[in-house]
Structure 1
């Protein structure tokens, strides 16, 4: 017997990806409902190769009888509807930023802290971390277990798809316009500066101490997911790639860190693939990780400027592992270990 699953924000990039991944992984659903705002009602969305779902109105939908809700409609909308779904008896796996730091709501990367999923019973909601945090957690988990990470410095190179479809359209239109001698300012709406052929060291809003909220998220989410004693300094940058986030990660550890052993424990980590050949093309880039489920690490090397230091390159598809796949994996663990039909 399967589950009734509703997808909130089904017409967005992440919502569509959730539906695709559920079908690919044969999620045990007897019924799948696509929910979105009133302006999308009646639109048709593919669920796998053969099934078409008609979008229903989120505002009037009755969640009674729904087992699981996968939510990615934006923070403000989720803040309104996710508690309603939970009150109706569904378990909500929420991909927005709204619930992540609520102490009564677990923040989950299934390969890292699956034991915390059971805390969903407090409010009926499980939070999905920020996309840039997720791939870093998958990479850091085995290193922390083996060497005890004390400090992390991470610099991100995040694709425009992290800003949604409008951000992807803006990069496309600006790139096309530049080749046609049109000023980029004509299409600048989503980003604060030109994104085509440019890098913008600014993601989300600025905070009082000078960091952006994206940088703050990586710090506080690491503390909640992995270890509150790890110090994190993040530098987040938007780059003109369509899909896939890249990160250069530098760690300092309590125990002496050996490059060969670090490589071994990372290779053994579920969801992590090491592709690290010290030659041309011996590493994975954002283009190659697009459409892939794994998080990839390359350029693993000692940092000799500190006593116990290591640096590596990390890439992942932010729409899949950074959002939709992680959400579905949480739901799979929920079904396997907590919800019994």
Structure 2
């Protein structure tokens, strides 16, 4: 199998390499692509040095790429994903470009892997904050039928790339921000992506619409507030869920404990609950603070945490590639 990483020099691209090394996919030939600005850069992968190649319209056909992991921005994906697909390559794209295209599967492997079979050469990787949420929500939806979801996210600066990371580092030194509209150090900014006419941000609408698509339920009632916080890595989410069915809380926790890719950390007497620091560099989603919402008949609150660069981006894409190799 010939595998390529497009956008190999970026934060997610480099994490692609790390996760691919760890999971040891059966790769015969590996290729790293980037823009002309980064072409020529040297990268280590599986103890071998590779030169980053400049991406062009012939890259996928010339190197006979079977699977390409894209994390090079929406413009690159819009232009090159169809070219790659026409060359017989399967693209797993980390941008938001294809997520809501009805002909493109939007996949979290623990939730809807069978959707991969409907691909026409492009598979979309969901938004980082959506991925960790649906890993926790899917088993509950299957068992108790979710009626309504209220998302409040606390998203790390790494979700905004190297610019976001730099803003927090420099802000802690007292320097002005370059990426964010306000200082992030010592601050919370309720503004991720652009504002839309309805007052929501694009990030908030992404979570709403992507959740419906992944869970195959357009009738779900969902609202969201997404907030950037002064944490380097690891997204945290407060999720309020209302069900159509009654539930026993212990049974519900057991349902989460048995779910794939999910680790329950819920022992408040010993101050055990998910933390961004502890989730960093891990592939699992962590859930805790699971408690009944006493303001509604069948509701719960829970706290969901994951490494947004790994499970929220790179690992999920690599897991999709693994599924393709094993099942197609």
1:92 aligns to what SS in structure 2?
A: strand
SS of 1:279 mapped into structure 2: helix
Matched, 1:236 2:234: no
Q: State yes or no: 1:171 paired with 2:161.
A: no
Aligned to 1:225: 214
Rounded Cα–Cα distance in structure 1 between residues aligned with 2:57 and 2:221:
44
Under a length normalisation based on structure 2, what TM-score does the superposition of the two structures give?
0.97
Q: Is the 8 A contact 1:38 1:59 kept in 2?
A: no
Superposed displacement of residue 257, structure 1: 2.1
1:72 to partner: Cα distance: 0.5
Given candidates 242, 245, 267, the residue that maps to 1:252 is: 242
Summarize the alignment of residues 1-341 of structure 1 with structure 2, pairs less than 5 Å apart: 3-48=1-46, 50-59=47-56, 61-64=58-61, 65-121=64-120, 124-177=121-174, 184=175, 187-226=176-215, 227-338=217-328
Are the counterparts in 1 of residues 153 and 226 from structure 2 also a CA contact under 8 Å?
A: yes
Deviation (angstroms), 1:60: 5.8
Shift of residue 280, structure 1, vs aligned partner? 4.5
Find the aligned partners of 1:175 and 1:16 in 2 and give their Cα distance.
Answer: 25
Which stretches in structure 1 are left out of the alignment for 5+ residues? 178-183
Aligned to 1:180: none
CA distance in 2, matches of 1:154, 1:229: 16
SS of equivalent to 2:198: coil
Query: Counterparts of 1:154 and 1:280 in 2: how far apart (Å)?
Result: 26
SS of aligned partner of 1:255: coil
Q: CA deviation digits over 1:141-188, x for unaligned, max 9?
A: 1111111001000100000000001110111011022xxxxxx4xx32
Partners of 2:98 and 2:320 lie apart in 1 by 15
In 2, Cα distance between the equivalents of 1:307 and 1:160?
36
Matched residues, number: 325
Cα contact 2:57–2:83 (8 A) shared by 1:
no
Distance between the aligned counterparts of 1:288 and 1:208, measured in 2?
38
Which whole-Å CA distance do the structure 2 matches of 1:169 and 1:51 have between them? Answer: 29
The structural deviation recorded for 1:279 is: 2.5
1:190-225 Cα shifts (integer Å, max 9, x gaps): 101110110000000001110000000000001111
Question: How far off is 1:62 after superposition?
Answer: 2.0
CA distance in 2, matches of 1:174, 1:246: 21
The offset of 1:61, in angstroms, is 5.0
Change (3 A) 1:287 1:331: same
Conserved? CA contact 1:257–1:310, under 8 Å:
no
- Give how far 1:248 is off: 0.4
Cα–Cα, structure 1 residues 203 and 8, in superposed 2: closer, same or farther, change >3 Å?
A: same
Alpha-carbon distance between aligned partners in 2 of 1:75 and 1:62, rounded to the nearest angstrom: 18
Offset at residue 295 of structure 1 (A): 0.2
Calculate the aligned-residue CA RMSD, in Å. Answer: 1.0
Deviation at 1:241, TM superposition (A): 0.5
SS in 2 for 1:53: strand
**Contact 1:130/1:218 (CA < 8 Å) preserved in 2?**
yes
Offset at 1:259? 1.1
Say which SS state the counterpart of residue 260 (structure 1) adopts: helix
